[in-house]
Amino acid sequence: MRLAQALEELGKASGVPVAIAPAMPDVARLASAVAIPVVAQHVDPFEPGPHTGFVTAESLAAAGARGSLLNHSEHPISRPEIGEAVRRLTAVGLAAVVCAGDVEPARVVAELSPPYVAVEPPELIGGSVSVSTARPEIVAGAADAVHTVSPTTLVLCGAGIHDRRDVERAIALGSEGVLVASAVTRSKNPMATIEELLAGF
């Protein structure tokens, strides 16, 4: 809750659009407490019905979520599942943020025309070196591939993004935004870290 409120306050002050993707049990609580978009970390590609243990797009919408991540490296799903999940989210007015680890997977998921594709090489997630520094060709290649296939899809860059320079490089390479977790959640001063990242825009 503190992170969500800080992100909302600092995003508004900087003029940078922000969103937060909390753990599933926190989605409804945060969505009712902050005005920034709250997105889930995953959604399952099912219609409402007998799916114990799974999360439907309708349940996310009812909880106040504005979208969901899909295919994160810690929760990969198949191409048909991604397609159906994007379709289900879109049908209830929610945004899909589809993760891809490299250029070709990013191009493939862009064929679904999701609102967002997040490029995150798994080996760099949670690390000390950003993808925009270690593998700039992935960011530039993915941004070009996604924009060629689906011009309306926005590209986010993730994996090892820690400071304003990482953000600036990601934007220069063709990204429209960044996807960040550990830099903030592991920070001794999350407010300062959020301010630093926002300054990169």
Residues 31-67: tens digit of each pLDDT: 999 999 999 999 999 999 998 999 999 999 999 999 9
β strands within the chain, DSSP E: 39-40, 67-70, 95-100, 116-119, 154-158, 177-179
- In contact, 147 and 153? CB cutoff 8 Å: yes
β-pair partners for 116: 97, 154
The mean of the pLDDT values for the chain is 93
CATH class of this structure's domain 2-199: alpha beta
Strand partners, 40: 68
CB atoms near residue 25 (< 10 Å): 7
Q: Which residues are catalytic?
A: 72, 120
Percent of the chain with pLDDT over 70: 96
pLDDT of 12 higher than 80: yes
> Rounded distance, CA 139 to CA 120, Å?
9
CA distance 85 to 181: 23
Per-residue pLDDT tens digits for 138-188: 999 999 999 999 999 999 998 888 899 999 999 999 999 999 998 999 999
